[in-house]
């Protein structure tokens, strides 16, 4: 489909859910042989093996809250979104949430809370979380707002409800930007895609709060930009091992160690790869590659799924995968509603 087509919206939201559901199998694993990944993915096609339904985790649970809030309010409403996060957590606390964010979600359910951003500010002795929980649910912002400045502003504010460290919320900004650009067809020119991300993040990371956090955490001056430069170097290489990707970019729970990694996975899998079946679509390659990295596989596959889904569209997703992932059909329905909201907004309606 063309820029911002319905197929791209459906691809983005559905593939994010699939990445979470199929990636959950390997979350936290140190080494994941590609053979195990392919076996896992093959089992989704084989109804006789009865994989059953793969449940979604916190990544999708929170993204669903973001989607419902944006659709219901037809804009960003921090009170409404915070209430939805708290309600979702209290209804299903066993979705594998991060150890720290649970405190925020409990506090957000208090009827006496006057500032919904305060619980996030109190995390980690006032430093705030740099986890990837803001980024893992950032894709819907790119599907609700056509304007780039709004995508950046609302992805940041949406993440700040739980992640007040700039590395956490700027990771969300980067993820939303990647989905926004992919939706426009920017991955047709991968070099320009990565350059554009670097340019945008240069501005985002020049803010004082970001510079302070980087200094305190002893990271590079502009940590996400520095990682994006590494992505650009790696994507120019014809061969690269999984070990090198992990050591250069990371595969962990911090936004810094997972958002650039997800972007790399998408870029690397734009072409067929020796280690992956020729029959795979680009989207299947991307998800498989994310799983083979080990570490935070559900989240990296969820984020890469959203970016890749916005590029390839819904047609690249196997029906058998959709059938066995909890929440995938809901995501498809919501993508259609977001597509309408997006186009209403772009017409000034
Ligand atoms: N939590 C997990 N996976 C662990 C295994 C779950 C298992 N399956 C189960 O069911 O028990 N996955 C999910 O968490 C990640 C998103 O986490 P989020 O929302 O960012 O949480 P949090 O707690 O804010 O941050 C995560 C951890 O990062 C460290 N950290 C963050 N900021 C820190 C700081 N300023 N100083 C020190 N450490 C900091 C802490 O260890 C946090 O707990 C996703 O992977 C999602 O899938
Ligand atoms: Mg998860
Ligand atoms: Mg995870």
| Torsion 249-253-255-261 (CA) sign | positive
pLDDT of residue 95 exceeding 60, the answer is yes
Ligand 1 pocket, residue 131 CB under 6 Å? yes
Please name which ligand lies nearest the alpha carbon of 171: 1
Instruction: Find tokens 């979600």 and name the residue.
Output: 105
Residue nearest to atom 1 of ligand 1 (CA): 98
Gap between the Cα atoms of 155 and 302, Å rounded: 16
pTM here is 0.97
Binding residues for Mg(2+): 57-59, 296, 298-299
pLDDT score for 46: 76
Mean pLDDT of the chain: 96
Say which DSSP state 218 is in: T
Q: Name the pLDDT band for 346 (thresholds 50, 70, 90).
A: confident
Phi then psi for residue 30, to 5 deg, are -75, -45
Over the stretch 194-253, which tens digit does the pLDDT of each residue have? Answer: 999 999 999 999 999 999 999 999 999 999 999 999 999 999 898 999 999 999 999 999
pLDDT score for 48: 56
Gap between the Cα atoms of 41 and 45, Å rounded: 7
**Average pLDDT value for residue range 71-76:** 97
Q: Name the pLDDT band for 4 (thresholds 50, 70, 90).
A: very high
Gap between the Cα atoms of 209 and 130, Å rounded: 13
Over the stretch 172-204, which tens digit does the pLDDT of each residue have? Answer: 999 999 999 999 999 999 999 999 999 999 999
**Average pLDDT value for residue range 311-327:** 97
Over the stretch 274-296, which tens digit does the pLDDT of each residue have? Answer: 999 999 999 999 999 999 999 99
Share of the chain above pLDDT 70, in %: 98
Q: What is the 3-state secondary structure (H, E, C) of 64-119?
A: HHHHHHHHHHCCCCHHHHHHHHHHHHHHCCCCCCCCCHHHHHHHHCCCCCCCCCHH
Share of the chain above pLDDT 90, in %: 94
Work out the angle between the directed axes of helices 223-235 and 166-183 (0-180°, nearest 10). Answer: 40
Phi then psi for residue 265, to 5 deg, are -55, -45
Ligand 1 pocket, residue 23 CB under 6 Å? no
Ligand 1 pocket, residue 127 CB under 6 Å? yes
| Spatial contact of 260 and 267, defined as CB atoms under 8 Å apart | no
For the chain, how many helices (H) and strands (E)? 19, 0
Within 8 A by CB and 6+ apart from 259, the residues are 132, 135, 171, 174, 175, 224, 303
Ligand 1 pocket, residue 98 CB under 6 Å? yes
Gap between the Cα atoms of 173 and 19, Å rounded: 20
Gap between the Cα atoms of 302 and 58, Å rounded: 11
| Domain spans in the chain, listed from the N-terminal domain onward | 6-124+133-346
Q: What is the distance in A from the centroid of ligand 2 to the CA of 200?
A: 27
* Burial class, 330, CB count within 10 angstroms (exposed 0-12 / middle 13-18 / buried 19+): middle
CA distances from 325 to 6, 17, 19, 44, 54 (A): 21, 7, 9, 9, 5
The residue whose CB lies within 8 Å of the most ligand 1 atoms, and thus the one to mutate among 22, 97, 127, is: 97
Q: Name the pLDDT band for 170 (thresholds 50, 70, 90).
A: very high
Q: What is the distance in A from the centroid of ligand 3 to the CA of 223?
A: 21
Structure tokens at 277: 């079946």
Phi then psi for residue 109, to 5 deg, are -85, -5
Gap between the Cα atoms of 307 and 282, Å rounded: 12
Over the stretch 42-65, which tens digit does the pLDDT of each residue have? Answer: 999 876 565 679 999 999 999 999
Give SS3 for 49: helix
The residue whose CB lies within 8 Å of the most ligand 1 atoms, and thus the one to mutate among 253, 293, 295, 303, is: 253
pLDDT score for 51: 60
Q: What CATH number labels 6-124+133-346?
A: 1.10.4080.10
Other C-beta atoms lying within 10 Å of the C-beta of residue 337? 16
Ligand 1 pocket, residue 25 CB under 6 Å? no
Output b/e per residue, 124-141; b: 16+ Cβ within 10 A.
Answer: eeeebbbbbbbbbbbbbb
Over the stretch 105-132, which tens digit does the pLDDT of each residue have? Answer: 999 999 899 999 999 999 999 999 999 9
**Average pLDDT value for residue range 100-105:** 98
């Amino acid at each position: 489909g063309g820029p911002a087509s319905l197929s791209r919206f459906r691809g983005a939201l559905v593939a994010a859910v699939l990445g979470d559901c199929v990636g959950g199998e390997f979350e936290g694993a140190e080494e994941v042989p590609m053979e195990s990944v392919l076996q896992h993915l093959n089992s989704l096609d084989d109804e006789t093996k009865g994989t059953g339904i793969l449940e979604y985790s916190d990544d999708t649970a929170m993204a669903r809250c973001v989607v419902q809030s944006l659709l219901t309010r037809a804009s960003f409403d921090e009170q409404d979104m915070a209430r939805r996060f708290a309600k979702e957590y209290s209804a299903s606390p066993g979705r594998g949430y991060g150890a720290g964010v649970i405190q925020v979600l409990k506090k957000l359910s208090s009827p006496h809370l006057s500032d919904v951003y305060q619980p996030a500010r109190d995390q980690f002795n006032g430093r705030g979380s740099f986890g990837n929980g803001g980024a893992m649910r950032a894709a819907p912002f790119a599907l609700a707002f056509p304007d780039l400045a709004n995508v950046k502003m609302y992805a940041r504010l949406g993440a700040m409800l739980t992640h007040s460290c700039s590395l956490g919320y700027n990771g969300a900004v980067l993820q939303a930007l990647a989905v926004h650009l992919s939706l426009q067809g920017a991955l047709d020119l991968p070099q320009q895609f990565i350059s554009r991300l670097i340019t945008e993040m240069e501005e985002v990371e020049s803010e004082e709060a970001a510079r302070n956090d980087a200094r305190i955490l002893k990271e590079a001056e502009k940590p996400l930009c520095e990682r994006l430069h590494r992505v650009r170097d790696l994507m120019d290489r014809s061969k690269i091992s999984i070990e090198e990707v992990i050591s250069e970019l990371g595969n962990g729970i911090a936004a810094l160690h997972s958002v650039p990694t997800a972007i790399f996975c998408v870029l690397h899998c734009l072409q067929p790869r020796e280690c992956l079946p020729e029959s795979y679509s680009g989207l299947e390659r991307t998800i498989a590659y994310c799983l083979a990295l080990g570490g935070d596989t559900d989240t990296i596959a969820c984020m890469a799924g959203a970016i890749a889904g916005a590029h390839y569209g819904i047609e690249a997703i196997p029906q058998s995968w959709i059938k066995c992932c909890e929440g995938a059909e809901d995501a498809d329905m919501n993508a259609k509603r977001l597509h309408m909201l997006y186009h209403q907004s772009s017409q000034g309606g």
